[in-house]
Structure 1
Amino acid sequence: MIMARFTPGRQAKPTRGTDTFSRIADIDLYAWVAQAEDGDALIYHRGFLVVDADRTVSTLPADRRLAVRGLADAAFRAAEQGLVHLVQERVGPNRFAYLAIARPKPKAAAASLSALLLDEQAA
């Protein structure tokens, strides 16, 4: 998991020799969201997310493709809950770094963040 403080205009640097897809799972993303401070950033995927998650065009094995799809869905749920901003940065031809940037935590959250995310996932 790559985590850093987000600085506008700072390039997300690709790591040489890594896979084009993420090795974190949706539960890792949720754990990061729960502990991240406002402005922290997580690169949750590198590659071309829409292609990597698509059943017809992805070259990933089925289990990895499904994991990428689950991670993308988890990131979207966190964004819908107002917990993160989702951004992407081009790092090469047809290659992007997908970042989740932590937003300020809700002040009047009666339930824990993990409960909010898990409730949304169950719906």
Structure 2
Amino acid sequence: MSLDASATRLNGHSDQTEDDDGEATADELQAALVDTLGLDAFPRRGYRRAEYLTAALEAGFEPGDLATAHRVSERSIYRAIETHGLDRVRPPTSGLAERLWELDPDAVPGESA
């Protein structure tokens, strides 16, 4: 199943499965990862493996989505990205740079992951 199909499936069940913020729940994201990546089961510690992490990022999952699915912090995901030497920009985490990043990620260069 493609990421677009997973997103459509997630959006189609928004009244039953999204949390109060309108964000996809961990269970939804886990199902989407399994479907999109063609896995037999959801790997709880998969974010620590370079192959899995690379495939998930290339499939279009954001670090925040992976953090939610794996029930870890976004920082843990970025740390795994850095550990495996994957090319991903880490957004600033405080101050004016963070506010500018939220408005336009291209306005402020993030720390390289």
Query: With structure 2 as the length reference, what TM-score do the two structures score?
Result: 0.28
Task: With a CA cutoff of 8 Å and minimum separation of 6, indicate the structure with the bigger relative contact order.
Answer: 1
Query: With structure 1 as the length reference, what TM-score do the two structures score?
Result: 0.27
Structure (1 or 2) with the greater helix fraction: 2
Structure (1 or 2) with the greater strand fraction: 1
